[in-house]
Amino acid sequence: MKILSQFLSVLHMAVAFIGIIALQALVLITFAHVVLRFGFNSGINWSEEVCSSILMPAFVFLGMALGAQEDIHINVTVLPKSTPKWIFAITERLKDIGFIVVGIVMCYYSYDLILLNLEFENILPATGLNNALQYISMPVAGGMLILVAFLAMFNIKMAKNYVAHICNVDE
């Protein structure tokens, strides 16, 4: 149990740092593109492709799983506070099931897309990288969603939010 909680914390930290690096890379590449375009009359021709087709989906889908783990996704509070606790317990489980269903769809079908792109050797025009890279974060995010929701059903959550601790942010 303790090992699993610890594992979730480490997984969360790894994904958060990948997201932070992707975010910083997005800013730097776009800024460098603008500077080079004005300073040297020639921008980075692969900047748009790398930013919008590779880095953006990476941090969006990993962020989606991270949001599920930290329970920060927006939901609507329609049920009044006086609702019996057992109803809230059921909705919590339903939420976990919802995460698992979405996770399975993400894992299964994105894996299919990756295989398809690899088989037909579809490439991105500017970088020449395989199209499969666009979907590479999806099975990872899907897998993380399944794992986090499945363990949450047994009340196993991450031991500590190390990133929030390092950054001095409220968890």
Partner 1 sequence: MVVDTMGICILLGGFALLLILRIPVTFSLLLASLGTTLYLGLEPGFLIINMSKGVMNFSLLAIPFFIIAGGIMCHGGITTRILDFSNIIVGRFRGGLAQVNVLGSMFFGGVSGSAVADVSTVGSMMIPMMDQKGYDKDYSVAVTVSSACQGIIIPPSHNMILYAFAAGGGVSVGRLFLGGVLPGIMLGIFLMVVSYVIAVRRGYPSEKGVGFKKALKISTDAFLGLFTFLIIMLGITLGIFTATESAAVACIYALVITTCVYRTMTFRRLIQICYESLRTLAVVMSLIAAAYVYGMLLSRLRIPALATEGLLSISDNTIMLLLLINVVLVALGCIMDMAPLILICTPIIYPVVVQTLGMSPIQFGIMLLLNLGIGLCTPPVGSALFVGCAVGKAKIEKVSKALLPFYFTMILMLILITFIPQLSTTIPDWLMPEI
Contacts to partner 1 by CB under 8 A = 16, 19-20, 23-24, 26-27, 30-31, 33-34, 48, 51-53, 56-57, 59-61, 63-64, 66-68, 70, 72-79, 88, 91-92, 94-95, 98-99, 101-102, 105-106, 108-110, 112-113, 134-135, 138, 163-164, 166-169
Provide the H-helix boundaries in the chain.
2-39, 47-49, 56-70, 85-120, 137-153, 162-167
Helix, strand or coil, per DSSP, at residue 4: helix
To the nearest whole angstrom, how small is the minimum distance from the Cβ of residue 61 to partner 1?
7
Helices 85-120 and 137-153 pack at an angle, to 10 degrees, of: 160
To the nearest whole angstrom, how small is the minimum distance from the Cβ of residue 68 to partner 1?
8
Q: Which is nearer to partner 1, 10 or 20 (CB)?
A: 20
To the nearest whole angstrom, how small is the minimum distance from the Cβ of residue 3 to partner 1?
25
To the nearest whole angstrom, how small is the minimum distance from the Cβ of residue 84 to partner 1?
14
CB 62 within 8 A of CB 140: yes
What is the maximal distance between C-alpha atoms in the chain? 66
